[in-house]
A and B are shown apart, each in its own frame.
Chain A
Amino acid sequence: MLSHVLPSWLDYAKRLDHAWTRVDDAGWMPGLDRSYPEHLKKAADYYQPLLANYRIDPKEVRALREILQTCHDRGIAVTLLWLPESSEFRSWYPPEALAKAMSFWQNCRRNSA
């Protein structure tokens, strides 16, 4: 509520109002279109341990199926998109994590075809 009414009373890290004040009319949040070495290091510190223990949560899979089902029932077309990643980011994937992800991707494709 403070983010809506008095965002300046909150610490910068706790403010949520950037999500609706900084996006453009079409909903795009600019700002990460440039790369900073310090950001890359922070991202590596954060993502590398996660990718090392990568697993696909059954709840997330169920959620994805539910989305597809809802859209199917309501006649809404769905396109699933796997966004491209930088070469640095791709280098953090262990081969087994990448294999799991590709297998999941292929399953999505087969089940929804």
Chain B
Amino acid sequence: MQLFLLGIFKKFVIADRMAVFADPVFADPAAFSSNANWLALLAYSLRIYADFSGYSDMALGVAHLFGYRLTQNFNMPYLAVNPSDFWRRWHISLSTWLRDYIFIPLGGSRGGEWRTCRNLLIVMALGGLWHGANWTYLLWGLYHGLLLAGYRLFFHKPAAPARTMTSPLLALRACQILVTFTLVTLGWVLFRPEGDKALAMYERLFAGLAGSPADTPSSQPLVDRRNLLRRHALRHERFMVEVLESSARPGARPGAGAAAWRRGTPRAVHRETLHLLYILMRLLFPRLARIPRRLPKSQSRLRKSSSRRARQTVLSCMAFFILLNVALSVGMDTIAPFLRDGDFVSRRQRAEARAAANPGRPLTVVLGSSRADHGICPLALDDSGPLISNCSQVGAGPLFAVVDTATLAARRRRAAIDSARILATLSPWGRQKCRVHPHRPASLLRQRRAIHSRLSPGPRRNAATDAGDSSHADLESPAAIC
């Protein structure tokens, strides 16, 4: 269960958050500065790892609940010291399969250096194509094939006996990790289907390093705030955008990102600190989330006890799930109805509060979809006539209205509403564009006159006449009523 939750955390907290920063830049790399491209690439690198290993952890966790022990698929790949080490840690199931079924049948490393390099290139090209039938994935595979071949030709040495890690060795190892991570991260540019954008991104990335005039400050910020914030109006993302922009803006003074960090709201600080602590924890204590490999002494006893535990776990989870569902269903209908239908309940409560505050006025409730929701402004209509309250909901049709009508009818006495009237809008097509709004006095007056003439005190009717062809006369025309 711990592994499963860890996978969910990686996917939804890290991968999805990183996508917010990476996607806008990858969509149009030429519009952003070099620093922004580097930061987006870093975010994409973290995203890919968190995404893939998150799914793998979820699968491992679920399998473990059922008593199956699957192969670990990722083993801190960004701490690899060379490309060969990276492929022993990244997507282990795929790389093992490629090794056993393609590399070794091709001859493996038995036919000399050049034949080995050829085999590596073929294997990695096929591995790239495995990820997607696109030229960019093929190039990505070849890039890794070249990295592996280059490492084998120029840097590979026979395994040396293990030595105590002294400070210089640690520093060397840190440099190796950094170089490998940079090379792998640069390869991720190709790991997207759009080839032309990959070229544009490489151009922007290296234009900044070369100090080329092409890296002029972009008129567009790191993240397109207008579009991004419209789609993701989350405070913490807005905060991260500020931090990234402060760091990435060409010519920004050192520490600008930290200053933005200090200016962040406490909530955002907490959340981002949590993210960083998690990443640090995984970097420093990789064994915490690994599956224990030590087996008990007796294999048969292990099998029996693990299958019994698996059965108990599955049955307990099922019982808990059923009980939770029953409790939630009953609770949401009796104790907390706003959890099931917060929109309607909040509108109904507002209507009841207004009715209680105006005891002499009959209450009219508007039911309908977004057409009525955006189209009928009760405060603009409501001066001396009946008390109108809009209980429409976006996307609601007659089936919703049946439930809402029954609820309103049942609550009429409990809410001490003297008299009630329901104004149902026919909404077979959903949204409309009529405007009953205080800024449109002419249409407002006509709407008010038409609706008030129907709703004014008088003998009650269940349904009456209609306004005939005027329903489609014009935008400025009164609504059709029956």
Contacts and interface: CB of A to CB of B under 8 A. Distances in A.
Given A26-B388, A35-B433, 13 more contacts: A25-B354, A28-B377, A29-B373, A43-B431, A76-B420, A79-B423, A81-B372, A82-B479, A82-B481, A85-B472, A87-B474, A88-B433, A113-B465
Nearest to B332: A1
5 contacts: A12-B232, A16-B342, A27-B389, A83-B368, A113-B465
B235 interface: yes
B481 A79 contact: yes
B425 A81 contact: yes
Contacts of B423: 78-79, 81
A50 to B, nearest CB: 7
B471 A82 contact: yes
Given A25-B354, A63-B398, A12 B424 contact: no
B234 A12 contact: yes
A84 B434 contact: yes
Most B-side CB within 10 Å, residue of A4, A16, A109: A109
Given A60-B399, A84-B479, A24 B433 contact: no
Interface of B: 230-236, 267, 338-339, 342-343, 346-347, 350-351, 354, 366-368, 370-379, 382, 388-394, 397-399, 401-402, 405-406, 409, 412, 420-435, 437, 439-440, 451, 454-455, 460-466, 471-482
Contacts of B338: 4
A3 interface: yes
Contacts, number: 242
A45 interface: no
B399 A63 contact: yes
B479 A83 contact: yes
Residue of A29, A51, A79, A109 most packed against chain B (CB within 10 A): A79
Contact of B434 (A25, A74, A85, A88): A85
Given A105-B471, A113-B463, A27 B391 contact: yes
B420 A109 contact: no
Contact of B354 (A12, A26, A59, A89): A26
Contacts of B378: 26-28
B464 A79 contact: yes
A75 B235 contact: no
Interface in A52-106: 54, 56, 59-61, 63-64, 66-68, 70-72, 74-90, 98, 101, 104-106
A66 B406 CA distance: 10
**Interface size, A (range):** 35 or more
A30 B295 CA distance: 64
B480 A105 contact: yes
A26 B438 CA distance: 14
A3 to B, nearest CB: 7
Contacts of A71: 405, 409, 422, 462
B463 A74 contact: no
A21 to B, nearest CB: 9
A74 B388 contact: no
Contacts of A30: 374, 377
A82 B463 CA distance: 13
B424 A78 contact: yes
A80 B424 contact: yes
Contacts of B482: 79-82, 105, 108-109, 112
A28 B390 contact: yes
B439 A76 contact: no
A26 B382 contact: yes
Given A19-B346, A26-B382, A26-B390, A77 B461 contact: yes
Contacts of A1: 339
Contacts of A28: 373-374, 376-379, 390
Contacts of B398: 60-61, 63-64, 67
Nearest to B380: A28
Contacts of A32: 374, 431, 433
Given A60-B398, A75-B460, A70 B342 contact: no
B233 A12 contact: yes
A79 B110 CA distance: 87
